Amino acid sequence: MAMTKTAGPVLTNGGVPPFQEGRIKIRVLSKANIAIRLTMLILAVLTIVGFATFNYQGVHLLKGLMSTLANFKTIFFQPQFAHFTLLEAIYQLFITLSLGVLTTLIGAIIALFLGMLAAENLSNKTVSNSIKGFVAVIRAVPTVLWVLIFAVSAGLGSVAAVIGMSFHSISYLTKAYSESFEELNQGTIEALEGCGASWWQIVCQAVLPSSLTSLISWTFIRFEINFGVSVAMGAAAGAGGIGYDMFMDSAFYYNLHEMGVITYLILIVAMLLEFMSIKIKNKVRA
């Protein structure tokens, strides 16, 4: 009986089958993709409607834009002291910086222990979910609102600012620290437990050393956030510092020249903080 051999496709490009013509569907629309696109569309429509129906009170858009650019020119290109000297400005800047340092330290110390309890590989699931849910509720409320809430009992001033900013810092760093702890390989923890290591020995010998760089990064990020919030709290909560001087220049004196000086001082401090963060992280890695 004769055998017939079926001829297959001839591969002429090194064994790779030729491309087939036609459209290739890269992404299939799912419910999540449809929900995201619908949400973005609704937000875009609401933005357009908002700009169209906003009460501009007779202000022409082009004139307002030109006036804003002129103010920016005065602030950034013509800085000049008027109501205080450079030494007084540096002193007020240190007050703002101290507020950021204090709230970050309080938040970092408390969040370190809460982060260990919130990490699923270091705690049980019930405790972890309870702490994560609690700090999520705290993070949902803006820092300024927490400061104003505590100002009801403590009064406007630095006390309410410290409590409110620390409260929000704890929730922020607890989430960040717990996620850093959860990145540790579970096999390392199981190996230490098999050797008879206690919970504190696991934390001190494995968890903290492996997460140190990440902890420093998150702490400095929160410190930069707290420094910016401290500037705002100087005006909103009466906490003093360079933020109060900026508020007075913008709302009462309307001195854009001095606002420019304050802006440059804040930018210099922010750049120094970033430089310090990079240096410390490099030293820890080494």
Read off the pLDDT of each residue in 77-104 and give the average, rounded to a whole number: 89
DSSP string, the chain: ------------STTPPPPPPS--------HHHHHHHHHHHHHHHHHHHHHHH---TT--HHHHHHHHHHHHHHHHHS---SSS-HHHHHHHHHHHHHHHHHHHHHHHHHHHHHHHHH-TTTS-HHHHHHHHHHHHHHHHS-HHHHHHHHHHHH-TTHHHHHHHHHHHHHHHHHHHHHHHHHTS-HHHHHHHHHTT--HHHHIIIIIHHHHHHHHHHHHHHHHHHHHHHHHHHHHHS---SHHHHHHHIIIII--HHHHHHHHHHHHHHHHHHHHHHHHHHHHHH-
Q: What pLDDT shows up at residue 247?
A: 85
31 in a domain, yes or no?
no
103 in a domain, yes or no?
yes
The total number of structural domains in the chain stands at 1
Q: What pLDDT shows up at residue 19?
A: 53
* Structural domain of 217: 75-285
Quickly state the pLDDT bin for 282 (edges 50, 70, 90): confident
152 in a domain, yes or no?
yes
Read off the pLDDT of each residue in 221-235 and give the average, rounded to a whole number: 88
pTM for the full model? 0.75
259 in a domain, yes or no?
yes
CATH number of the structural domain spanning residue 121: 1.10.3720.10
Q: Is the pLDDT of residue 194 over 50?
A: yes
104 in a domain, yes or no?
yes
37 in a domain, yes or no?
no
Read off the pLDDT of each residue in 258-276 and give the average, rounded to a whole number: 89
238 in a domain, yes or no?
yes
Q: Is the pLDDT of residue 191 over 90?
A: no
8 in a domain, yes or no?
no
For residues 14 and 53, the model is more confident at 53
Q: What pLDDT shows up at residue 252?
A: 80
